[in-house]
Structure 1
Amino acid sequence: MNTPPLIMVLAAGLNSCIGNILLKWSRTSLPTDAGPTDKFLSIGFIGGLLFYGINVVFFAKALDSMEVSVAYPILAGSGFAMLAITSYYIFGEPFHLSKWIGLGLVLAGVILLARGD
């Protein structure tokens, strides 16, 4: 079965989001006096690296049949949207009107790019 490249890019964005969440968690879940080695060898940090690696694989596969000038903005925009929403729920990060407006603009840009006209 041949997966459409847009699905591959969105999967890469999801993996990027998960990787970022795990990195943030790795920096906040350990005591403040934990050394750099402890933070870089934590399960969150290693997990974040793993999801970033999966992100690269999905994105590279999408580039087999998609223009990078279209694929990368979709990757970045979808990753940003997923991350903004997820970090609000997981870490309680603020989600003000300006973020909603920004997400709307990003979504509009992603839709325009994905149309491929």
Structure 2
Amino acid sequence: MNALPMILVFAASLNSCIGNMLLKWSRVSLPADAGVADKFFSISFLSGLAFYGINVVLLAKALDSMEVSIAYPILAGSGFAMLMVASYYVFGEPFRPHKWIGLALILAGIIFLARGN
């Protein structure tokens, strides 16, 4: 298999991770009593949506030459893995032993799927 579709899938998962981090940032950076317009028209919220859009475009391009049954699990798994690490460093979210085990299983699954073709 050509490496480009796999690179596109990983780029899409990175965009998904960034989008999720920006959505979280849009929630924690505002006061609890912020209005609807402040919550949904903040630069971090709109940027998060833009990164999701880029995610969809990259995945669609990868699907031109890759099976969706392989591409999507790799996208989701690698996105979850990136998100767990990023949320630990950016938001201080705990990284307990069960998350380490889950991360190892996700990475093993990604490797298994990527090599299975």
- Asked if these proteins are the same fold (TM beyond 0.5), I'd say yes
Instruction: State the 1:3 CA deviation.
Output: 6.3
Equivalent residue number for residue 89 of structure 1: 89
Instruction: State the 1:36 CA deviation.
Output: 1.5
Structure 1 residues 28-60: Cα deviation after superposition (integer angstroms, max 9, x where no partner) = 101111111111000110000000000001000
Amino acid at match of 1:22: L
Q: Does residue 51 of structure 1 match 2:51?
A: yes
Question: How many aligned residue pairs are there?
Answer: 116
1:15-30 mapped onto 2 (5 Å cutoff): 15-30=15-30
- In the alignment, structure 1 segments of 5+ residues that lack a partner are none
Separation in 2, partners of 1:43, 1:37: 11
Equivalent residue number for residue 106 of structure 1: 106
1:26-45 mapped onto 2 (5 Å cutoff): 26-45=26-45
Q: Which runs of 4+ in 1 moved over 4 A?
A: none
1:52-91 mapped onto 2 (5 Å cutoff): 52-91=52-91
Question: What RMSD in Å do the two structures reach over aligned CA positions?
Answer: 1.1
Instruction: State the 1:116 CA deviation.
Output: 2.9
Separation in 1, partners of 2:102, 2:28: 26
SS of alignment partner, residue 59 of structure 2 = helix
Amino acid at match of 2:64: D
Separation in 1, partners of 2:25, 2:64: 33
Q: Normalization by structure 1: what TM-score?
A: 0.96
- Pair 115,3 (structure 1): closer, same or farther in 2 beyond 3 Å: closer
Structure 1 residues 58-96: Cα deviation after superposition (integer angstroms, max 9, x where no partner) = 000000000000000000000000000000000000000
SS of alignment partner, residue 88 of structure 2 = helix
Amino acid at match of 2:9: V
